[in-house]
Amino acid sequence: MTIKFRITNKHSALIAALQAGAARDFAVAKSRRQFKHEKSTKKAYVPGNLGPSVVATAIKKEFGTILSRKERKALPIFIAFLSHQ
């Protein structure tokens, strides 16, 4: 590969190097940019409009009620599993 031009002094070499670095950074930023997304066509979620899931209704039907995590931990039959035991 032949050199098209020769830089004769250090000041010009520094300017050329800074410009090359800035051009490279600009090219990388342009290649990695995120494109705008189209507006979603899904309906917005309105809190409270979802009913209980199929699993939750099956558990309620089988066992009567679903306890919260706090209530389950308060039960005497709950045994915490610790990996070092």
The residue ranges of the chain whose pLDDT is under 50 are none
Give the model's pLDDT for residue 56: 76
Give the model's pLDDT for residue 79: 64
Report which secondary-structure segment, H or E, holds 60: helix 54-63
**Overall domain count for the chain:** 1
Domain of 69 in residue numbering reads as 52-85
Give the model's pLDDT for residue 21: 92
Assess if residue 82 is contained within a domain.
yes
Question: Is this structure's pTM higher than 0.75?
Answer: no
Assess if residue 64 is contained within a domain.
yes
Q: Which long-range contacts (CB under 8 A, 24 or more apart) does 32-36 make?
A: none
